[in-house]
Amino acid sequence: MQKKICIITQSHLCRNPRVLKEATTLATAGYDVHILTGIISEDLYRQDLLAIGSFANIKLQLISNVSASTLNSFTDKLLSKIGRVLVRNFKIENSLALGYGAMRYYNKAKAAKANLYICHQELATYIGTRLLNEGYKVAFDFEDWYSEDLLPEARAERPISLLQRIEAIALNKGSCCITTSNALANQLSKVYLCPQPKVIYNVFPSPGFIHNKIKKFSTPLKLFWFSQTIGPGRGLEQFINVLSTLKTGIELHLLGNITTDYREILTTLMPTQYGLYFHPLVDENQLAAKIAGFDIGLALELDTPPSRNYTITNKFFQYIQSGLPVIASETEGQDEAFDKFKPGFKLAQQPSAQQINELDRWLSNPVELQLAQQQAIEAAAFYNWENESKKLLQLVNNALGE
């Protein structure tokens, strides 16, 4: 009999490639995959359905849909707001503050009658700990360190103690725990005195068009950074400050949604001798080809909060898999990914004048750039979903006792 795996998440599949890769890999391996999730956009939901459309054994069940004008949507928004107000104003920690539809997820999860549940993100982790108490087999995927994931101003509405409590339960009692880097796995193990979670990197399937052809770099060099949202706290302002002392000609290209105010801030900060260009979001299946059209990828990240310090930004992996050398911010997580192949230049959080000069020399040296590109291609042969998916399947087999 085909075994059922229920994946619990709270975000769009097209905006969370980790969940999507997991679901399609398990479906390809013959499992019946049931996904519980919520949506905030009908357009993104259509992309979700397209992403899993060829898999008859993947079922997507919506627990919340706040894009709709319905009583459920109104209620979900109201309860979520109440939950956050209770945390912020009265220090009453509760699961309502973790996401929409919190009260329905548990019942729908139990009704799925799965052989194994895999929980992603904060609300799903809470649901998973409740399922554990009922004797279900539950695995947890720590995409981030949830209780240490936000900047101080955003933590006021977060039930931090609740998150810490469910993290401790999940890490010590889950059938299997997975995370995104050895750096984060080590830290979680130390803090929660738990077995070290297994590591599955946030990598992607090899795009197929990358080969060993020497790249011809542009003049000026086209530096590229992307995210769903272009905003503060991501290292962009700090990097633009570094650019102000460089002599090498560059263009800075940013892809993602951006507010008018923040666009004006970046435009004002940018040295006038360099070009600053903004690009709209593209579909996930077009991103690798888009990245490949630039010269160097920017894996910028601050070392605060702790979650960002210990994780590895998806960007790093997507750049190397599109054949780009990388300028990577120095964090515990990115050191782990970068140091194995050194596919570019690693930049300190507070770079010295000497290091900025070294960066300038590196950017102006075509031989060094071509060497970094070759090292990026070598890194991509190691960091890819073809390799990581085998680890996932083995972990799921072990959790199911197969």
What is the pLDDT, as a whole number, of residue 210? 61
Same domain, 245 and 196: no
Same domain, 163 and 283: no
Output the pTM of the full model.
Answer: 0.95
Q: Would 88 be classed as within a structural domain?
A: yes
Same domain, 300 and 257: yes
Sheet with 198-199: strands ordered across: 58-65, 32-39, 4-8, 116-120, 138-142, 176-179, 198-199
Q: Would 324 be classed as within a structural domain?
A: yes
Give dist(CA 339, CA 54) in Å, integer. 38
What is the pLDDT, as a whole number, of residue 212? 58
Residue 393 clears pLDDT 70, i.e. is over it: yes
What residues does 139 pair with on adjacent strands? Answer: 118, 176
Q: Tell me the pLDDT of the chain averaged across its residues.
A: 95
The model's confidence at residue 135, banded by pLDDT at 50, 70 and 90, is very high
Q: Would 210 be classed as within a structural domain?
A: no
**pLDDT, tens only, 9-43:** 999 999 999 999 999 999 999 999 999 999 999 99
Q: Would 212 be classed as within a structural domain?
A: no
Give dist(CA 255, CA 291) in Å, integer. 10
Q: Domain of 369: which CATH number?
A: 3.40.50.2000
Q: Are strands 138-142 and 116-120 parallel, antiparallel or unpaired?
A: parallel
Residue 176 clears pLDDT 90, i.e. is over it: yes
Residue-range definition of the domain harbouring residue 79:
4-203+385-400
What is the pLDDT, as a whole number, of residue 196? 98
**pLDDT, tens only, 184-243:** 999 999 999 999 999 999 999 988 766 556 678 999 999 999 999 999 989 999 999 999
Same domain, 241 and 133: no
Same domain, 54 and 164: yes
**pLDDT, tens only, 294-323:** 999 999 999 999 999 999 999 999 999 999
Same domain, 182 and 234: no
**pLDDT, tens only, 248-305:** 999 999 999 999 999 999 999 999 999 999 999 998 889 999 999 999 999 999 999 9
Same domain, 378 and 396: no
Same domain, 373 and 325: yes
What is the pLDDT, as a whole number, of residue 152? 78
The model's confidence at residue 173, banded by pLDDT at 50, 70 and 90, is very high
Same domain, 118 and 266: no
Same domain, 362 and 391: no
Same domain, 153 and 199: yes
- The total of structural domains in the chain comes to 2
Closest C-alpha among 75, 148, 142, 106 to residue 307: 148
Closest C-alpha among 126, 118, 136, 121 to residue 161: 126
Give dist(CA 128, CA 133) in Å, integer. 9
Same domain, 349 and 392: no
